[in-house]
A and B are shown apart, each in its own frame.
Chain A
Amino acid sequence: MELNTVWFILVAFLFTGFFFLEGFDFGVGMLLPFLGKNDLERRLIINSIGPVWDGNEVWMITAGAAMFASFPDVYATLFSGFYVALVIMVLALIFRGVAFEFREKRESRKWRTGWDWAIFTGSLIPAFLWGVVVANLMRGFAIQPDMNYYGGLLPLLNTYALLGGLVFVSLFIMHGANFLTRKVQGEVKERAKKAAFSTWIAATILIVLFLVWSYFVTDILTKPEINGLIPAILAAVSLLVTGWLIRSGRSGWAFITGSLTVVFATIMVFAGLYPRILISSLDPAWSLTIVNAASSPYTLQVMTIVAAIFLPVVLIYQGWSYWVFRKRVDAKPENLTY
């Protein structure tokens, strides 16, 4: 396989990892103010993702950096094109990131509630905006022949893209609720279970709408040769199974099939895009592809060797860290602060 395709797959893999992992900690963050009725419960919820969220966020950083290294023009077009959206996303991630650390530093209720809402908003906005970004990638946006997008923020906030944002938000909340059900005990667990089912209903409706709409306005599901149809079907099936598993109380399995939904949905997007990465809605010839946007063969070679050695190492130690924290979070108050 030529290296341009290898790197397309690697970038797709990193985004898949990001949506799968940070997806549930975004979800837990969005559920925090609603499922935690008092400080102890909120602490419990935060501790369920406390040791792992930072490692999850690195997937986003690595996906972006890998894109920079392998397809610099994609990185340049995407990040300058979505400028305002990314400013808002970064600010949200800043508030969220420090909130986990700062929240504990003072006893004041106002202080803690404030940071809880920072975690909520800081999880909601990036989840929503990534959905908007992905929907725009699927449909294409007005990329000019010089590879730049000059349209600003508003055209990117079209109804289709906003629906994409809602899909991400609902899917991640469900994903987070499933995770939480596995990680905590007592009342919070019961509430998480209920939340998982109600967001499952919302996510299912939104996803069906989004897929139907995508069928008509994009070629992601229909383009000849490689397209996103089969992964889309797999994502839909695993989503349906997830609903049934949540209903029958098998939360561990529900988390796994919910994760598969996220994974297959991401694969659907990238399979539907290939070999394009950024579709120009003005003229297919102006799209950025794995060929015209790529780094030199030499750089791709070097990066392939490095990634082949170190990516497995990362997967092993990050997997191990999940193994260390596999047990449910201890709900005893004296064990909840650090």
Chain B
Amino acid sequence: MTIVDLSRIQFAVTTIIHFFFVPLTLGLSILIAMFETKYVTSGNETYKRMAKFWGKVFLISFAAGVVTGIIQEFHFGMNWSEYSRFMGDIFGAPLALDALLGFYLESVFIGLWVFGWERLPKKIHLAAAWLVAIGSMISALWILTANSFMQNPVGYAIVNGRAVMTSFYDLITNPNLPYQFLHVLSAGITTAGFIVLGFSALHLLRGKGDVDFFQKAFRWAAIYALIGSLAVIIVGDAHGKFLEQIQPMKISATEAVWESEPEAADLILFAGIDEKNGENSFELAIPKALSFMLYNRFSGGVLGLNELQEQAAAQYGPGKYIPPVAITFWSFRIMVGAGFLMLLLAFLALVRPRVKFLQKSSPFLKILLPAMALPYIACTSGWMLTESARQPWIVYGLQLVREAVSPNVTAGTVLFSLVLFTVVLVALTWVTGWLMFQSGIAEPKPEQSVG
């Protein structure tokens, strides 16, 4: 394996594991702040206990998210120094703003939230909860500002072989950014909804202890998960339509469209993808449905990968510009499948109090336990999709991944760090998941002894 492959695998492994923890931080911090708001406005102690109970699950995941995030910041300089030199003028700014505006807020106020229950007035403590949630949203916003530039460069010029920022306004109003941010935020909301639903279902199945506590949590989480999964699908659909305009290669790879369809394109549900010969060995397709997805009508052409390849080669010089099709094609289908399944489950969870069948049926509650894996599957495949479909570019149209690696780090060194990071992060994920599970299945403490 080359240095480029190893560096890419390392980045993929560490990013994917980092992003196991980020969506829950995003979504659950808001939900906890909402519980605490309810406590402060109504005076009902149950909501305080809810904030604390889910706070424990949250903090475990949050800690893992913080420490895995350090790798991400170091990575650009360590493994991708040529990228850092080429892009630093633009990319460094949102990263610095991420730290200055987001990380400080999150980390200072999480300390105040955890240790401040007795020390701070109720309303100040509530403000700390919201500031943690806002801090994590801000940091998501800035890191996605940086990522959006990589997907859709704006407000730059190439000066002396380097990308230079010409408009900060263009950078932060990148039309790709609102889609990415809202998609990630609603994915976070969905993740939190399903984690709370899953653990509440487990407690309800047990049927002893504080049933009311978990019925409340279940109802809140059902609404939350429904809003999240609905939003994630709507934003994702709009994002796809937008991407067809700016990154047609990404859409055609995602849908495995090899040959251009000038009139109307079919939506391929399943296919045998033959990347070598640039075709599908078999297809199961819905006629004209892809055009409908992209343009809201049953007509409208889509450029095929083979034609886009020719165009790209003419524009950028010889080379292969088609991303790994099988990975993007299948990760999209896994993401969408998980997304719609979550929408259905969240809907059923919401109507459960009104539908007799669902109330009695413990199978439904039991389904919600493994369903806790769904948001993680969807988030992981979502990132796989968006990052692999940008290949071979690291910055779309500006720099290739293979031009971006550090020239002074050897393949052996990267192999060494890859093995170390993988072993440590997999172990960390395992322990984190296990501790979250332990906290989630524990009985909530009665008010007197909540310390």
Contacts and interface: CB of A to CB of B under 8 A. Distances in A.
B111 A80 contact: no
A107 B70 CA distance: 29
A97 interface: yes
B71 A296 contact: no
Contacts of B120: 324
Interface string B115-152: 11001100000000000000000000000000000000
Interface stretch (A197-205, A209-217, A301-309): A301-309
A332 to B, nearest CB: 11
Contacts of A117: none
Contact of B424 (A61, A94, A302): A94
Interface in B67-93: 67-68, 70-71, 73-74, 76-79, 81-82, 84-85, 87-93
B92 A69 contact: yes
B59 A58 contact: no
A100 interface: yes
B312 interface: no
Interface string A296-331: 101100110011001100100110010011000000
Given A61-B73, A91-B420, A101-B60, A80 B409 contact: yes
A299 B104 contact: no
B340 to A, nearest CB: 34
B92 A68 contact: yes
Chain A interface residue bracket vs B:
35 or more
Contact of B70 (A61, A306, A307): A61
A302 B119 contact: no
A208 interface: no
A102 B88 contact: no
Interface in A239-287: none
A67 B74 CA distance: 12
Nearest to A321: B108
A55 B115 contact: no
A50 B64 contact: no
B231 interface: no
Interface stretch (B32-40, B158-166, B186-194, B217-225): B158-166
Main DSSP-derived SS at the A contact region:
helix
A325 B120 CA distance: 10
Interface stretch (B94-102, B233-241, B269-277, B366-374): B94-102
Interface string A130-149: 00000000000000001111
Interface in B188-210: none
Given A65-B92, A150-B408, A80 B413 contact: no
B95 to A, nearest CB: 5
A309 to B, nearest CB: 10
Given A79-B81, A98-B63, A324-B120, A58 B408 contact: no
Contact of B103 (A50, A61, A83, A321): A61
A84 interface: yes
A102 B60 contact: yes
Contacts of B66: 54, 97
Contacts of B164: 296, 298-299
A94 B91 CA distance: 25
A68 B81 CA distance: 11
Q: Closest 7 interchain pairs by CB? A: A72-B88, A79-B77, A69-B92, A51-B111, A68-B92, A101-B63, A76-B81
